[in-house]
Each structure stands twice: as C-alpha cells, then as structure tokens.
Structure 1
C-alpha cells in the first residue's frame, strides 16, 4: 500500500493514491487528450485547415487510441490499483444515498456519505472504461476496413463519432469538477490529501 513519510502524517495528510496509480492517470489523461485534440482537428474544418497534414493527424489519432488502455494495464501490478478497482466496482447503500442527495442538490456532507470514491466517481469510472473499450473496438473496425463488412463499418463510424462527442462532454465535466476541488487534484498529484478534506468528502474512508 502507499505509505507517507512521517512528516506528512504529522501534518495531517493521508495516503490516497500510489505512484503507479498517479502515473497511470497522467499517461491515460495525456493519451486521451491527444485523441480528443486530433479528433477535433479531423472533424472541425476550421481546425483542419490549420494543420493540413490530415494523414499525419489520422496516424497519431489511431496510435494514441490503441495505446489508451496500456497505462492502466501496465499498472495492474500495483496492489493499490487493484484494491481501488475493487472499490470502484462496489455499489452500496451509501452510494445510493449519495446519488439521491446529488439529485436533490443537497450539498451537506452528512447527506453525501462516501468511501474512498463517491457514487459519482464510480459511475464516471465505469462509463469511461466502457466508452473507451467501445471507442477502441469501433476505431479498429474503421482502421482495418478490409476485414469488416460495409454495414459494420457504417455502424462503427456512427457509434464512434457520436460516442466521441459524448465522451468529450463528459470529460469536460470531469475536468470541471476537478478544477473545483483543489485538494482532490493535490491528491492525484502528490498521492496524499488533507485529513480534514477526507473527513468531509469521504467520511467512510479509513486509509491503512
């Protein structure tokens, strides 16, 4: 498990993410950023004119997409990451309470109990993982056009394009939420968070 120096513990900081988790997150974010940026240059005429080298942009987009699952797969050797994936896959009564409070726009901490990850984070992680796999599958079908029937390619193009738009919107929301929570960003950057923040935002979480 991720351990903090004694000085950090004395300062009231708690371990949240291991080094492997942080690097996997950064690498995935970078690859996703490349995918989104190159997609924008491919589909928006005003941006496409700025680059001109469409073939190069397509190549970068393809390989960034293929590499997208690699950081998480490479980090599966981390015991902390595997433990966190198990937490993300569990949905308990406190998560339902968190979602109901979110729907009612009730921002009181007592109304939003959460373990290490709240219900919103769990839903986002599940949706992002599923969307990434679908984008990868449809992208490969569009790439290897000689291996798939025309009807499959048409369907794959439709799903890929619209899911890409949806993914961009959801990612913008994810970034917006992160920008509104400096301590959460600090946790992903340094691996530790303030004890007061953890008690307020994740009262059911007790790190080892």
Structure 2
C-alpha cells in the first residue's frame, strides 16, 4: 500500500479483506439467511400459512443447508483466506484481556486489545463453524431417514430444532453488532477500512 504524505490521517485506508474473502462471506451469509428464513416458515404457523408451498420451502431449506460449507471450502483456494482462518483459530493473552474487559463492561479502548480479529469474532467464528457441522449432520439424518435408526433420527430432530433456534439468535446478534459498526461493514463491503479505525479497534493488527 502506497500512501501520499499529504493524505489526512482520518482518510488513510488499509486493505482488510480480498475480493474472494468478501464473496465467501456474502455467499455464506446468503445461504445462512435462506436456512434461517425457511426454517422460520416451517416452524412458525403464521409464517407457514402466509408463505404456503411447504414442499418448496423444505427443498430450499435442505439444499441451502447442504451448500452452506461450499463457499468456505472454495475460499480455501485463497492464501489470504487461509491466513485469516489461522488467525481466527488462535487465542492469545490479548484475547483473554479483551474478554475480561467485555465481561466487566470496561469500555476503555486500551483495555480491549485486538489483532485483526477480536476475541468476540473468534468465538463467533468457532461457534458458527461447529453449529453448522452439527446442523448439517443432523439435517442429513432427518432427510435420509432410511440410513439411521429411529432413535438417532428422533435425537437428531431434537438437536436440530433447538440448535436452529440458538443459531437464529446468535446470527441476529452478529447482524446487530455489524449494524452498530459502519466502518466494519464498509470493510466487508469494499475490502478497505480507515487506518484510524484499524488503530483504534484492532491496535495489534499490522496490515
């Protein structure tokens, strides 16, 4: 990145995500959105009556769920994407400091150190990855009923339904956090953020 000497500090920009990373996120978000919306239409009677065409909704739900891991698998072709997965998978002392500050509601920026991803983003990524795999496994048991015993299918249905509710709540929280941070959204939309924001929110990150 080349910066002009006369560029105001507030407008300096650094690259946060590549094009492939952004499209991986968008595609995953779209598939997750379809899964959540179709699940709501299947389980909430008022929505089921409003939408109708249950067979079509079931088909959309099944295939969007099956396709959910595909964008991430495709994203592995990108070195930048693999590097970010490594960052998300590593928890350091500064992440524990960040979590303690959040738990104690310490809003001082100096008490919340973060590298490219903060501890909350790392926990969310780990949780959503695990939940997606469990939802995929239990969903396949419910879809292909002849492959597993009835006890397994009953247990899979229980886990799938309750985890789906939890997943919807967590995703809603993720969206709420994104709406509260316009600069973070811009980074996911354009791939770039201001250096001032990066220094404030992710002081340990060196682009």
Give TM-score scaled by structure 1 length.
0.95
The separation in 2 between residues aligned to 1:193 and 1:72, in whole angstroms, is 23
Distance apart, 1:52 and its partner CA: 1.7
2:119 corresponds in structure 1 to 119
Q: Which secondary structure does the structure 2 equivalent of 1:90 belong to?
A: coil
Q: Is the 8 A contact 2:131 2:167 kept in 1?
A: yes
- Measured in 2, the distance between the counterparts of 1:111 and 1:69 equals 35
The CA distance in 2 between the partners of 1:28 and 1:186, in whole Å, is 18
Residues 1:48 and 2:48 are matched in the alignment = yes
Report the Cα distance in structure 1 between the residues aligned to 2:23 and 2:106, rounded to whole angstroms.
34
Aligned twin of 2:92: 92
User: CA offset at residue 75 of structure 1?
Assistant: 1.1
**Shift in Å at residue 50 of structure 1?**
1.1
For 2:101, the equivalent position in structure 1 comes to: 101
Q: Which runs of 5+ in 2 are unaligned?
A: none
- Structure 1, unmatched stretches of 5+, are none
Please give the per-residue CA displacement for 1:55-99, whole angstroms capped at 9, x wherever unaligned.
110001000000000011111111000000000010000000000
Match of 1:178 in 2: 178
Match of 2:147? 147
Give the Å deviation of 1:184.
Answer: 0.2
Q: CA deviation at 1:6?
A: 6.1
User: What is the CA–CA distance in structure 1 between the aligned matches of 2:200 and 2:51, rounded to whole Å?
Assistant: 47
Count how many residue pairs are aligned between Structure 1 and Structure 2.
202
Structure 2 length normalisation: TM-score? 0.95
Question: What is aligned with 1:134?
Answer: 134
Q: Does 1:156 align with 2:166?
A: no
**SS of residue matched to 1:77:** coil
- 8 A contact 2:3–2:12 mirrored in 1: no
Q: Following TM superposition, by how much is the alpha carbon of 1:32 offset from its aligned partner in structure 2, in angstroms?
A: 0.4
Instruction: State the distance in 1 between where 2:120 and 2:60 align.
Output: 32
Q: Is the 8 A contact 2:95 2:114 kept in 1?
A: yes
TM-superposed deviation, 1:177: 0.3
Shift of the alpha carbon at 1:5?
Answer: 7.5
4+ runs of 1 displaced by more than 4 Å? Answer: 4-7
Structure 1 residue 110 displacement after superposition: 0.2
Instruction: Identify which range, 180-189 or 45-54, moves more after superposition.
Output: 45-54
Q: 2:88 and 2:51 mapped to 1: Cα distance?
A: 40
Say if 1:187 and 1:151 are closer, same or farther in 2 by CA, change over 3 A.
same
1-structure distance, mates of 2:78, 2:49: 44
Distance 1:181 1:106 in 2: 18
